Amino acid sequence: MDTMTATKIVGGVCGSFLIFLLVKWGAESLYTQGGHGETEAAYVIEVEEPAAVETAGAGTAATDGEGEAAAAEPTFAELYAAADIASGEKVFKKCKACHKLEDGANATGPFLYGVIDRGIGAVDFGFSEAMATHGGTWTPEAMNEFLTRPKDYISGTKMTFTGLKSESDRANVIAYLATIGG
C-alpha cells in the first residue's frame, strides 16, 4: 500500500471520529438539563434501604428500619421553615416554561404571583373542570402535596408536569413562591 492510500485511510478514520465527537457534543448541549454549565440528573433512581438486622441475645431479629428512617427524615414543616429561597429560585426554572411570576400574566399555565394562600383555581385562567371545582387554598402543605405528583392530588388536572421528587426542592420552591407577591 502506498503512502497516499494510507494517508486517505487515516484521514477518513480521524474525520469520522471528529464528526462523531461533534455530534455527541451537540446532543449533550441540547439534552442536558439546566443551563450555563449547570447539570442535573435527568432522572433519579430511588433505592430503598434493605431491612436492618440487629442481634438480640442468642437470636437475631429483623426490623424494617422504617421507624428509624422516618425519625431521621425531617418533616415538610421543618424543611419549609428552613427553606433556602435562592435554591427555590433555581428549582423554579423548571416551572418557567409554563408559569410566569407577574400579576395577571398567564402563559401555558396560570400566573404564580401571590399563589401561596390563594384559592385553588381562583384566578382568571382556563382551568380544567377538576381544578376549577377542587376548592381549598394553596397553603404550603397543599402546594407540597400537589407538586409531589399533580395528577394524584387533583385527578383530571391539565398540568402535565410529573412532579418534584425531592421534598427539600418542593419546600424551597414553595418558600420562593411565598416571597412573590405575598
**Residues 102-161 pLDDT 10s:** 988 998 999 999 999 999 988 898 889 989 899 899 999 999 999 999 999 998 888 888
Note the pLDDT tens digit of each residue in 4-46: 999 999 999 999 999 999 998 888 877 765 544 444 545 555 6
Residues 6+ apart with CB under 8 A from 112: 95, 99, 100, 101, 177, 180
First and final C-alpha spacing in the chain = 78
Give the model's confidence band at 53: pLDDT under 50 very low, under 70 low, under 90 confident, else very high.
Answer: very low
Note the pLDDT tens digit of each residue in 55-77: 444 444 445 555 555 567 889 88
Q: Which residue from 163, 176, 149 is spatially nearest to 87, judged by alpha carbons?
A: 176
CA distances from 126 to 72, 96, 122, 130, 143 (A): 42, 18, 11, 11, 19
The answer to whether the CB of 120 falls within 8 A of the CB of 135 is yes
d(CA 68, CA 63): 10
Rg, C-alpha atoms of the chain: 25
Quick one: pLDDT at residue 39? Answer: 47
Report the predicted TM-score, pTM, of the whole model to 2 decimal places. 0.61
CA dihedral sign, ordered 167, 172, 175, 181: negative
Quick one: pLDDT at residue 182? Answer: 61
In terms of C-beta density within 10 A (0-12 exposed, 13-18 middle, 19 or more buried), how is residue 65 classed?
A: middle
